[in-house]
Amino acid sequence: MTQTEIIDRIKQLKKEKNAIILAHYYTRPEVQDIADYLGDSLGLSQMAGTTEADIIVFCGVHFMAETASIISPNKKVLIPAEGAGCSLAEGVAGYDLREWKKANPDGLIVSYVNTTAEVKAYTDYCCTSSNALKIVQSLPKDKKILFVPDKNLGAYIQKVTGREMEIWNGDCCVHDKIDTQMVLDKLEEYPDADVLIHPESSCSHDDRILNHPRAFMYSTAGIIKHAKESPKQRFIIATELETIHKLQADNPTKEFIPIHPKTICGQMKKVTLEKVLEALEKEQYEVRLPEDLREKAWLPIQRMLDLS
């Protein structure tokens, strides 16, 4: 089948099966283009909870589809690329949190949404990069906090809020490579450009970056908003490369330069048009959790959504 034929067939099946396609900004451009909703983790979670579709085809990595299934247990959630994982989600286990809770029974665990359902089940509050600052600032000041699993996002939150936290030693294998020198070099090379940086980056808690007038720390949705609203014409994008597809579509007269040509999440690229079509045709790779686990994992997500 040609790409056009695949897209036409996907559209036909969506209509026949009352299906919706949700896609993350890091997926391939052609997958982004067929999505009914394109977003970051927070936006996708919110959409999963409000859609009236019977089937959700989640174009992203496994923890994202799992989160959608937690939020919408009455929907059939399909993941086109069954093996698409995440270094963050794989960096901490439910056992780790259970042991921390034993040692700190009055402490609070804040988990980045990039975690498994098992981890969420031992979590008090979930967060995304869009709402992490707000959620941590809302917590009682006399409580000990463990933040998992992203060490860079955790250090950024701690730096900005001044809130002491115990931070897990996990990272995004893509963003962790975006360091301070890389950003400073681009700021010097492009003196007319803003640098828009995801807080999973290793430079996110460096004062040289945080205090720079042309460096901005945002979730992916925040990066897209800044670029659209700014009068500037040139931007350095310090996050996953495919975000530029959306940025360029929204701002055809502006220039977007990747911080590095290899800021690529290979796991997200496992989702292809062919796999989206196969998921819809066969309704395969459904993500569904045992109800007791789902209920435990839902509570911290619900708290996150209520505070967003």
Position 46 scores a pLDDT of: 86
Position 150 scores a pLDDT of: 98
pLDDT in tens, 23-55: 999 999 999 999 999 998 878 988 998 999 999
Using a pLDDT cut of 90, give the percent of the chain over it. 95
Q: What are the beta bridge partners of residue 37?
A: 22
> Residue ranges per domain, the chain?
3-84+268-288, 180-258
Q: Contact 305/41 with Cβ under 8 angstroms?
A: no
Q: How many CB atoms lie within 10 A of CB 180?
A: 17
Strands 145-148 and 215-217: unpaired
Q: How many CA atoms lie within 13 A of 78 on its CB side?
A: 23
Position 64 scores a pLDDT of: 94
In the predicted structure, residue 199 carries a pLDDT above the cut 90? yes
In the predicted structure, residue 308 carries a pLDDT above the cut 80? no
Please report where in the chains the tokens 């007791």 appear, as a residue: 292
Q: How confident is the prediction for the chain on average, in pLDDT?
A: 96
pLDDT in tens, 213-242: 999 999 999 999 999 999 999 999 999 999
Close Cβ partners of 72 (under 8 Å, ≥ 6 residues apart): 48, 49, 51, 56
Q: pLDDT class for 305, splitting at 50, 70, 90?
A: confident
Distances (CA, A) of 300 to 126, 225, 260, 294: 5, 27, 35, 11
Q: What is the CATH number of domain 3-84+268-288?
A: 3.40.50.10800
- Highest CATH level, class, for 180-258: alpha beta
pLDDT in tens, 109-147: 999 999 999 999 999 999 999 899 999 999 999 999 999
Alpha carbons 122 and 265: distance in angstroms, whole number: 27
Position 10 scores a pLDDT of: 98
In the predicted structure, residue 174 carries a pLDDT above the cut 80? yes
Q: Which of 49, 46, 39 is nearest to 72 (CA)?
A: 49
Position 42 scores a pLDDT of: 78
Q: Which of 225, 268, 269 is nearest to 247 (CA)?
A: 225
Alpha carbons 94 and 88: distance in angstroms, whole number: 13
Does the fold of domain 180-258 match that of domain 3-84+268-288? Answer: yes
pLDDT in tens, 237-271: 999 999 999 999 999 999 999 999 999 999 999 99
Say whether pTM exceeds 0.85: yes
Alpha carbons 83 and 200: distance in angstroms, whole number: 23
Distances (CA, A) of 143 to 43, 124, 276: 29, 12, 44
Q: pLDDT class for 148, splitting at 50, 70, 90?
A: very high
Q: Which of 197, 189, 141, 194 is nearest to 165 (CA)?
A: 141
